[in-house]
Amino acid sequence: MLNAEYADLLKLSPSERLLLVQDLWDSLNEEDIPLTDSQKQELDRRKAAFQANPSSGRSWEEVQRRIIDRHG
C-alpha cells in the first residue's frame, strides 16, 4: 500500500513512473544496496569463473539482443 503522502505519484503515466523509478535507482550508491553473504559469494564465484575463462562472457549488446529476441 502506497503511503498517502505519495498517492499523487500514481497519477503519473506509466512511462513517467518508470522514469521516476530509474531516476531513484540511479540516485543510489553502491553502499546503499547491501548484499547478503550468499549474494557476495555468488558474485565472487561468477567473477572467478569469468577470470578463468574471459571468453565465456557476453557483451552487453549481445545480452540486450537476446532479451529483445526473446521478449520483443
Q: Give residue-wise pLDDT tens across range 33-46.
A: 999 999 999 999 99
Cell numbers representing residue 16 in the block: 513517467
Cα–Cα distance for residue pair 21/26, rounded to 1 Å = 9
Task: Please give the pLDDT value at position 18.
Answer: 95
User: How many domains does the structure of the chain reveal?
Assistant: 1
pTM: 0.51
Domain extent, residue 61, equals 4-71
- Residue segments in the chain with a per-residue pLDDT below the cut of 70: 1
Task: Please give the pLDDT value at position 67.
Answer: 93
